[in-house]
Structure 1
């Protein structure tokens, strides 16, 4: 085995900021309302955050938690925390107080930075008793903001070379000496915990670096990119776009809340070129009163749940360029994409959308995905035989923090087991059929909830829907659809069921329709377990 070159450096996304600050020092790096930071200013703020953490006693490998919407401080944390040798724990802002307390305890975080709007979710007295230091973020940028004061207190520790660079002389010194090993942790992201306590997924400097590069390739980003933060930065570190946008010298446009009208306004006023979001966010956008065909094309990555062909058609009609990606928290967010083929160009729009709705294959920085049976053997590539999606490579997690048994189970056979059921098409592309826990078994026949959902979504009155199994005395289980109608639209249960019966096999069609809003996670995924619990109360459940 050959030795590493003595001239090689460890891969880390921290170098993305150093390079962009050197190449584009006066370019807008971060825009947030009426505030804007150049790359020179962004880099200096990160350096001061790192210095402040070290002054506060941060030791290598210590965890630093942030509970914040998409604001400059959370973006800065993606560089400042690892630059100080720490591990970033970005916490889901929609969790309850008990869930947040569990994550703080499980991760062993010694410091917590919390946005003013979320401070009521933490117990200051309990955290003090545990030795956790808390810094409030007012998100004002003003000197009296406690976060800004934290940065200012470390200004003298940032170093003469940093101050020289900030005033336009010299070059930016390294943010850090770099990780001792590129496989060192850079962050921990907690799973949604829908079937138990959330698990801490460990990301490395190497994995974050490579997934960021993969995102740049798939999103075709250039230095002129203006990225709008509709996707939560706490979710898989913003699918690693926190690092990717900086790598290309693009502009981050922060957004505290997902507001469709505000998003439409920012696309125009800031010249937004790229954004990401789950299907729920995309549905909100295409159905907002402000929706209109754009004068410039905006590229959008869709992941988190399979988008329907109907949604993809709607996005294209408004001059969005949808990029369908697939992944999990355990794969740094998206790890695969449905790469477009030139010979699809001449096909009818509906067929193009159907092809694009597939999950495709791995990023250029990932290995190819496989679909396997229970024995770990590849299923036939016939587009019909279902198996489990497994993956491995550079952008799969290091493991679950402090849970070696769960890690071993997830990587049995040397591949990460996703828990997603899919078919493998003759062209090598993978298409999800369901989560293993969501598949409906009715009278011995498997029914894909995704197929039923996509059929229901084609009804012109339907905004979005979710399908689950409900108990049935004769067939064991039958599909039920929960439907949210578009504003001012109307449809009956019978109309939607008949609509489905005209398009898919009758045994796959829902037996019942319930109208109303869908319960969702903070990242736009439907909380199907809430619906299942309601329907299976008092019955023996097949699904946890």
Structure 2
């Protein structure tokens, strides 16, 4: 369950390749470099339970740092490289990191972080010089390539994407295991459930700082497969990579599906995607019609899961099951589901409420934030935890997500979940991207407002606004349709496709003096 196993038998097999440059990392090199870096960490005084922070764009050396930290018994905290210096410094400081490894591509941010992170005692930079950091390449070249006899298993300590506030760190308990053992239960689940083998060719078009891409890539390497990394998602480039490299597994978010479906028919049909055995998607609810079109195009190979950085649950559903139950995110592979009202009382089957997950003996905590930890727990059951999502289960125990509680709009006393409206709007031919939020209304409390990024070349104005509103009303209840449509050049999204609605709403209210 770690790359050294495969380095011993197939050192020249490619563990990872950066598609943009063709650069490759073999299992032999990954093993040697992660051993050297692990020795550097130990020589710097890092031990089991310490934290290694990583700030980089999509770079193959991220995997070296990941496995070096894990084989030292450390936590690895990969940081969103798009954050401002003060936000990066907050995570480094909050995590308690004593080692910070950065890419020279992020030199400007890294240098500004130095003064605000006094607890960091090991600073390394790869790919070029960064002021205040030692050369990663020089330090590794001078380090021992002999693996220590004791290699306690570390874990990822990752921060949530922070779409509704400041990022929250999740610090899991360290396993009582060596790196050669099965120490990370989530990684073991991914390898077992999704068939990661030496024949796996996995396409990762998402940022490696995010929990899902990082852990999925690590799971592929634990299983001995090859990871193909894109620096940034490109719809047609993704199809080209699948065809050229005969990709067997890939992971997407619904926004990526929409972008591929928006390509002209002749472009989409020009690529051979028959090598795909499994197309996994998560991160946000996928509109039913979007998923149906993807299955019509790629076949019944889509597998959806619902989970989060917190790791409190993971539901899964394959295409044949989903086709029988459109819209479901599946049954839990981890934990027991409970749907509760605002007072914590369990609701009957079919009723929407807060989704809690019960896990015996396991409670996730937000690092250094007992208030947020408490807010994520059921009032009467400490080991029932919630991510803030609203949904219901059906008679067969399948979960259907409605939206996040924080995004709910209350208009005239009626609860409106913007995800449902967004799902409809995403299918309008003039819409490239969309976000729906509630804005203040003196009579109704809030009204439904849609922010639309139009397709290139589309003429916007009152006629298109009316057309879009009518389009929504023809598909769902009128009260869920936007009262107003505003056309924008772009919308705030994370690199994993999540809408940062808090940022959008704050900007609108500030501009309007609300």
CA gap of 1:53–1:404, structure 2 versus 1, over 3 A, is same
SS at match of 2:4: helix
Q: Tell which deviates more after alignment, 442-451 or 205-214.
A: 205-214
SS at match of 1:432: strand
- 1:147 and 2:136 correspond: yes
What pairs up with 1:209-220 in 2 under 5 angstroms?
Answer: 209-220=184-195
CA gap of 1:494–1:220, structure 2 versus 1, over 3 A, is farther
Q: Of 316, 328, 339, which aligns to 2:308?
A: 328
Deviation readout 1:372-426 (Å, 9 max, x if unpaired): 22343332112xx211111143897642223334324423412112211112222
Question: Are the aligned partners of 1:379 and 1:424 in contact in 2 as well (CA < 8 Å)?
Answer: no
Q: Of 58, 62, 87, which aligns to 2:50?
A: 62
Distance 1:273 1:462 in 2: 31
- 1:249 and 2:221 correspond: no
Instruction: Give the TM-score of the pair, scaled to structure 1.
Output: 0.82
- 1:404 and 2:339 correspond: no
| Aligned equivalent of 1:178 | 152
Distance 1:228 1:129 in 2: 38
Tell me how far 1:260 sits from its aligned partner: 3.1
Q: Of 290, 308, 314, which aligns to 2:287?
A: 308
| Aligned equivalent of 1:283 | 258
Question: Are the aligned partners of 1:215 and 1:244 in contact in 2 as well (CA < 8 Å)?
Answer: yes
Question: Are the aligned partners of 1:331 and 1:396 in contact in 2 as well (CA < 8 Å)?
Answer: no
- 1:481 and 2:444 correspond: no
Distance 1:43 1:131 in 2: 26
| Aligned equivalent of 1:6 | none
Q: Of 151, 158, 168, which aligns to 2:145?
A: 158
Q: Of 201, 209, 231, which aligns to 1:226?
A: 201
| Aligned equivalent of 1:498 | 470
Distance 1:24 1:467 in 2: 50
CA gap of 1:291–1:219, structure 2 versus 1, over 3 A, is farther
Deviation readout 1:104-131 (Å, 9 max, x if unpaired): 1112212211111111112265168555
Deviation readout 1:457-500 (Å, 9 max, x if unpaired): 22232233211112222221221111223334456010011111
SS at match of 1:316: helix
Instruction: Give the TM-score of the pair, scaled to structure 2.
Output: 0.86
Tell me how far 1:308 sits from its aligned partner: 1.1
Distance 2:405 2:343 in 1: 16
Tell me how far 1:23 sits from its aligned partner: 4.4
- 1:197 and 2:194 correspond: no
Deviation readout 1:257-310 (Å, 9 max, x if unpaired): 333343233222222222223222333333346533534143322211111123
What pairs up with 1:52-201 in 2 under 5 angstroms?
Answer: 52-122=40-110, 123=112, 125-126=114-115, 130-138=119-127, 146-154=135-143, 157-159=144-146, 176-179=150-153, 186-201=155-170
Q: Tell which deviates more after alignment, 313-322 or 303-312.
A: 313-322
Tell me how far 1:64 sits from its aligned partner: 1.1
SS at match of 2:425: helix
| Aligned equivalent of 1:35 | 23
Q: Tell which deviates more after alignment, 247-256 or 16-25.
A: 16-25
The count of corresponding residues between Structure 1 and Structure 2 is 489
Tell me how far 1:34 sits from its aligned partner: 3.1
| Aligned equivalent of 2:215 | 240
| Aligned equivalent of 2:348 | 380
Deviation readout 1:351-383 (Å, 9 max, x if unpaired): x3x9443222212xx12322122343332112x
- 1:452 and 2:421 correspond: yes
Flag structure 2 segments of 5+ consecutive residues without an equivalent. Answer: 176-181
Distance 1:483 1:26 in 2: 48
- Alignment RMSD (CA, Å): 2.9
Q: Deviating runs (4+, > 6 A) in structure 1? A: 394-397, 538-541
Question: Are the aligned partners of 1:201 and 1:397 in contact in 2 as well (CA < 8 Å)?
Answer: no
